[in-house]
Chains A and B, each alone.
Chain A
Amino acid sequence: MTLTRRHFLTRSAAIGCSAAASPLLTPVSFAAAPWDTRLVVIILRGGLDALDMVQPYGDPAYAGLRNKLAGGPLKGGLDLDGFFSLHSELSRLMPLWKAGELGFVHAVSTPYRNRRSHFDGQDLLEAGSMGLGQVSDGWLNRMLQHMGGVESRTAFAIGQGEMKLLNGGAPVSEWGPDAALILSPQAELLAEQLMQGDPLFQSALAEALALSQGGVGQQDFEGDDSSMMEMTMPLPTRGKTHQKIAEYAAERLRNETRVAAFSINGWDTHSRQAAGLKAGFGRLSDCILALRDGVGPAVWNKTAVLAMTEFGRTVRENGTEGTDHGTGGAMLLAGGAIHGGKVHGRWPGLAEADLFDRRDLMPTADVRGQAAWVLQGLIGVGRETLEQEVFPGLDMGEDPGLLL
């Protein structure tokens, strides 16, 4: 269904738009959801090495742990605050750091300990519970379940691959670039009849048809004139997938969408980490810049991007110019709504006795707590809801001050 002008006006009237924010004057502001800020969650799958992203070159033990993978300003790292430096492959994000639109939280983790499995680690990161198997839905979906006025386009899971953090009872849209399904009216009707009685297929088809209209995520066309469009073989168009995903997210977020989530994979750098991170940080930078440029300055100012990973990696590099699965990691923050230009978190130190299991960065805070404070400040979710429902068993503690 396309958003008709009539639908548009009714909705604007219902929420009592002021003239300044009138959609007729500023067509990008739909304001369908009960809040106006934007949240993007990026899951970095594979276990990002926190110590190589934000390098603690000021820690006396650091130099002894990293040799081939040594960072710090003398090794090309970009100095952040005299103690930490940023990996050189993130240099395109330095202007954001300087503008206060990029920050980090160091030494955070989920409650996951000791097993160091990617798959369980990611499941717990997305479930948001204390332990595995305690909940069947994802934390970002549970947040939506507790907000009024959430509609199917309020939140988007973008790209191929499941985003478990958005699984659950609240409506969520799943879509990606190059996906449009254009059927003849007859074929559409018959397809709908075919899927009846199989809820999985029925709802996926209904969504595919709805999302294929309205011009987002496909070549632009005017109004309802879908006769212009012909169905084509499912083939990817030119361009980098991650970039197209971020651009699609931005396009949605410019409109009625308030929450978007997608993944960037490829962080499991057991060997030749330098090459792996060059590619990974390249993709991460592309995505953050595509989001910023895509949503435009007004929306970017009320946007928070959280990039999180299932665990960090061993503090010592291994014998193969890489690092193995660890525990404490880091979270990246971006956007105009965050308190950037700062490495947040309590630094545990890298002396042998300060490590977790004598091998990993000691987590000093729960990554769920960081996300919870962002949800509270950005979207107005209550503390009780956060500690009991969204992240059951979490103690949010003191406000880490991640938002402006």
Chain B
Amino acid sequence: MAFTPELAEIRFGCGLSPVLPAKDAVEDILQHLAGPDHMATAYPIDSSDSLMPYLSELNALRRKRRKAQGTDAFEELNKTYKAMRRHERANWARWFSHVVLRHSQTRDGFRERLTLFWADHFTAIGKGSLSRQMNAPYVETAIRPHLTGRFSELLVAAVTHPLMLSYLDQNRSVGPGSRAAQRAGKPIGLNENLAREVLELHTLGVDGPYSQQDVRQLAELFTGLKSNFKKGFQFRPNLAEPGHETILGKQYGGGPARLTQIHAVLHDLSVHPATAAHIARKLVVHFVEDTPDPALVDHVAARFRDTGGNLEQVYAALLEHPAAWVSELRNVKPPLDFVTSACRALAVRPEKLQEGFPQNVVSHLIKPMTMMGQKWETPLGPDGWPEEDDAWITPQSLAARIRWAMLAPQHLVDLLPPPETFVMTSLGSFATGPVQFAAGAAETQSEAIGLVLSSPAFQRR
């Protein structure tokens, strides 16, 4: 139960690479994380701020086009609209390929893993065909810049992001006693969705010390949070419920509605001991094993509490504890992590993903992931993807993993590596006897590579 460079790459990074060196020490991992984000520069993904005006324009064009149906103007509008949609779809596939390339080429794998972890913790998905385009930009804007620093900063960035406000229906929530509701002359009112998930999923956890009354009060306090493509995030006091609200026994608000009151409650929730315990457990389950060592969870939770949710310190606590380095590989990689770590092991080059773009990215990577049980950017609900190993390794999803492992690599590299070499570069000291034997005994090179990638030694971390 101790740090080894290979284990660090496999468990806390993006897997072994035949060309990139592994880390020497825990400090090395943390130093990279504290340094510049090289991969975001090399393989950019739009920020949501730069995307929203484009989506707003596209939305306006769509409306114009609909109105123009049957008139002479339609043809021209339709041409422009379709070109913009194609451009948008290519961007969507490009951003996915950039995620793959970041994982394949990084020397800072922990950053990529933390990005996925927190993007999942704060799952937000566009509900319409246009806002679906925001999924990757949301992660790039609200999650990735806040991986270190305080948990409260990450919480505020995610919860008040336009995509989250739309996903969890906050945009449609109005204080029943607000000026806007009184003027409306039609029933408009509160929606509890965001408030509930903030307490249940983002902070305290479902077993946390809150009641339905707290959900309701938090929903009232959240009124005024608003966003759209055109204007981005806004705080609109005329939508806010007047008066103060009481959440977990503490009063907020009263007087004129202000965004700072919402920030205050999010900050208080972010440092609550129940939040510390909830986040600590989630981190350990995600990175180490489904049934985590309580000593490790306690150690991470204590650091979270002691530092007021300083995430760098929280990660340090996770990485410094011997129980994080149990030598047996336990967790199963979700399909995205499986596919991206396979690309890393194969040293997939950026130019290769340009061939037949975007169709090939879709048919070689994105659609097969759906068959493995992970439709890209489409978890079933705000609780994100499952952590349990047996949720991922079912007969049908394992079948899809094996089929992909045997057939996809030949499309992803010009020349498949010799299997005897590949088994060592992709698994290192985790290459078991049967895997080495299979690599040598398979009838074809693609079966050999496929068997290595299908092995539990590669599928687990």
* Interface residues in chain A, defined as those with a beta carbon under 8 Å from any beta carbon in chain B: 45-46, 67-68, 114-120, 160-162, 173-176, 178-181, 183-184, 186-187, 190-191, 193-198, 200-201, 204-205, 207-208, 211-212, 231-236, 265, 268, 270-271, 317-322, 324-325, 357
Contact = CB atoms under 8 A, between A and B. Distances in A.
B399 A212 contact: yes
A205 B370 CA distance: 19
5 contacts: A114-B212, A160-B373, A205-B398, A234-B403, A320-B189
Given A186-B443, A187-B406, A198-B456, A270 B394 contact: no
Given A116-B196, A319-B176, A231 B398 contact: no
Contacts of B434: 193-194, 196
B404 A234 contact: yes
Nearest to A201: B456
Contacts of B400: 179, 234
Q: Which of B169, B206, B394 has the most CB of A within 10 A?
A: B394
B393 A201 contact: yes
A268 B381 contact: yes
Contacts of A116: 196, 212
B433 to A, nearest CB: 9
A303 to B, nearest CB: 24
Given A116-B196, A179-B400, A236 B371 contact: yes
A318 B190 contact: yes
B383 A119 contact: yes
Given A161-B373, A184-B447, A179 B395 contact: yes
B380 A319 contact: no
Contact of A233 (B389, B404, B456): B404
Nearest to A185: B443
Given A117-B200, A191-B454, A271-B169, A208 B396 contact: yes
B441 interface: yes
Contacts of B212: 114-116, 357
A201 B459 contact: yes
B394 A322 contact: no
B188 interface: yes
A194 B373 contact: no
B442 A187 contact: yes
B85 interface: no
Given A114-B211, A179-B400, 4 more contacts: A191-B451, A200-B389, A234-B400, A324-B191
Nearest to A359: B212
Nearest to A211: B395
B166 to A, nearest CB: 10
B371 A271 contact: no
B173 interface: yes
B266 interface: no
A191 B390 CA distance: 19
Q: Which of A114, A191, A193, A211 has the most CB of B within 10 A?
A: A191
A118 B381 contact: yes
A349 B404 CA distance: 55
B368 A201 contact: no
B403 A318 contact: no
Interface bracket on B: 35 or more
A168 B213 CA distance: 36
A139 to B, nearest CB: 19
B396 A184 contact: no
Contacts of B438: 190-191, 193-194
B34 interface: no
A174 B373 CA distance: 13
Nearest to B189: A319
A201 B459 CA distance: 10
Nearest to B394: A174
9 shortest interchain CB distances as A-B pairs: A319-B189, A320-B172, A181-B399, A234-B371, A234-B400, A207-B395, A179-B396, A198-B456, A208-B395
A175 B407 contact: no
Nearest to A133: B207
B261 interface: no
A162 B403 contact: no
Contacts of A270: 168-169, 172, 191, 193
B258 to A, nearest CB: 22
B357 interface: no
Contacts of A207: 395
Contacts of A231: 403, 406-407
B396 A45 contact: no
B291 interface: no
A271 B408 CA distance: 41
B393 A204 contact: yes
A161 B393 CA distance: 11
B393 A200 contact: yes
B396 A160 contact: yes
A190 B441 contact: yes
Contacts of A180: 399
A319 B172 contact: yes
Q: Which of B187, B367, B402 has the most CB of A within 10 A?
A: B402
Contacts of A235: 363, 367-368, 371
B407 A233 contact: yes
A318 B191 contact: yes
A321 B173 CA distance: 11
Contacts of B90: none
B11 to A, nearest CB: 17
B154 interface: no
A68 B186 CA distance: 10
Contact of A181 (B211, B402, B437, B447): B402
Q: Which of A178, A204, A357 has the most CB of B within 10 A?
A: A204
Contacts of B395: 173-175, 179, 204-205, 207-208, 211
B451 A176 contact: no
B114 interface: no
Nearest to B455: A194
A201 B458 CA distance: 12
Contact of A319 (B173, B196, B383): B173
A233 B191 contact: no
B334 to A, nearest CB: 13
A270 to B, nearest CB: 4
A181 B396 CA distance: 8
B186 to A, nearest CB: 8
Nearest to B404: A234
Interface string B362-392: 0110011011110000001101001011110
Nearest to A122: B381
Contacts of A234: 367-368, 371-372, 399-400, 403-404
B155 interface: no
A114 B408 CA distance: 48
A194 B368 contact: no
B398 A208 contact: yes
Contacts of A200: 332, 389-390, 393, 456
A225 to B, nearest CB: 20
A319 B368 contact: no
B435 interface: yes
Nearest to A205: B398
Contact of B193 (A119, A197, A212, A324): A324
A178 B371 contact: yes
Contacts of B320: none
Interface string B171-193: 01110100001000001111111
Q: Which of A115, A119, A160, A357 has the most CB of B within 10 A?
A: A160
